[in-house]
Amino acid sequence: MRMAIIGAGGLGLSALKGLLELKVNLSNEIVIFDFDRVEESNIHRQIFYTINDLGKSKIQVLKERFSSVENLRFFEMKLNDENVENLKCFNLILLCVDNAETRFIVNDFCVKNKIPFIEAGVEGFIGTVFIYVPEETACYRCFHPVKPLKKEKPGIITFTNVLAGFYQAKEAFNFLNGKSKLIGKLFHFDLKSNIFEYIKLSKNPKCPVCSVS
């Protein structure tokens, strides 16, 4: 079994920490993909980075930090339409990015190649997590058919990242053990309003991706 984590920011690192604490089977590989460098704004909300890492490649920092962990790999790459084929060898993908472009690329590739993924998104105090299961559930494009216009990224609250990332890890653990209750639903939470709910997701018959795949 090979698992990929796309994004080594607040979400991706929280998911990674959750997977390690849950002792998800590492007999095969977990591979983390990212291309960014550590910035000052990352320090307070992205675990595993310190002030001494400023300006360094996130992947290089993580390689050094986890050098003693077997079967944990780090790959410096910005996913695009040309290199997304690198994901073809994975059995499960955790999508932990903050931009629609990468979400669309990974979603469309996973639908085409029948690879399940767990996507998380955060904005302020709000977070969402859902699972895509090939030919069974709605895909990301079912409820986001058109790529949104680029806008200024809102502030991210640290514990919103942590909760969403840990929930991703928990659902990855459950999914791999055939016990996920999130399939066909979206987990939505709003920490400011104290809302935690599951919303049923239905496949969109007019989805530009999974309805014609």
Q: Is residue 14 part of a domain?
A: yes
Q: Is residue 46 part of a domain?
A: yes
Considering its fold, how many domains does the chain have in total? Answer: 1
Q: Is residue 29 part of a domain?
A: yes
Residue found under tokens 């016990």? 179
Q: Is residue 210 part of a domain?
A: no
pLDDT of residue 150: 60
What are the CA-CA distances from residue 7 to residues 49, 61, 176 (Å)?
A: 14, 14, 21
pLDDT of residue 41: 84
CA 8 to chain centre: 9
By CB atoms closer than 10 A (0-12, 13-18, 19+), residue 37 is: middle
pLDDT of residue 180: 93
Q: Is residue 22 part of a domain?
A: yes
Token code pair at residue 33: 């993909």
Beta bridge partners of 188: 128, 197
Q: Is residue 208 part of a domain?
A: no
CATH number (domain holding residue 127)? 3.40.50.720
Q: Indicate the SS3 state at residue 64.
A: helix
Tell me if the pTM is above 0.85. Answer: yes
Token code pair at residue 147: 């790529």
Tens of pLDDT along the chain (213 residues)? Answer: 899 999 999 999 999 999 998 877 656 689 999 999 999 988 877 889 999 999 999 999 999 999 998 889 999 999 999 999 999 999 999 999 999 999 999 999 999 999 999 999 999 999 999 999 999 999 999 998 776 656 545 567 889 999 999 999 999 999 999 999 999 999 999 999 999 999 999 999 999 999 875
Handedness of CA 187, 191, 192, 194 (dihedral sign): positive
For 101, the domain range is: 2-200
H helices present in the chain, as ranges:
10-21, 58-65, 100-113, 140-143, 158-176
Q: b or e along 167-180 (b: 16 or more beta carbons within 10 Å of the residue's beta carbon)? A: bbbbbbbbbbeeeb
Distance, in Å, from the CA atom of 78 to the CA atom of 74, rounded to the nearest integer, reads 13
pLDDT of residue 51: 93
Q: Is residue 206 part of a domain?
A: no
Q: Is residue 155 part of a domain?
A: yes
**Are the C-beta atoms of 88 and 31 separated by less than 8 Å?**
no
What are the CA-CA distances from residue 21 to residues 2, 16, 17, 66, 184 (Å)?
A: 18, 9, 6, 14, 26
Among residues 140, 171, 141, the alpha carbon closest in space to that of 15 is found at 171
pLDDT of residue 44: 76
Token code pair at residue 84: 């997304």
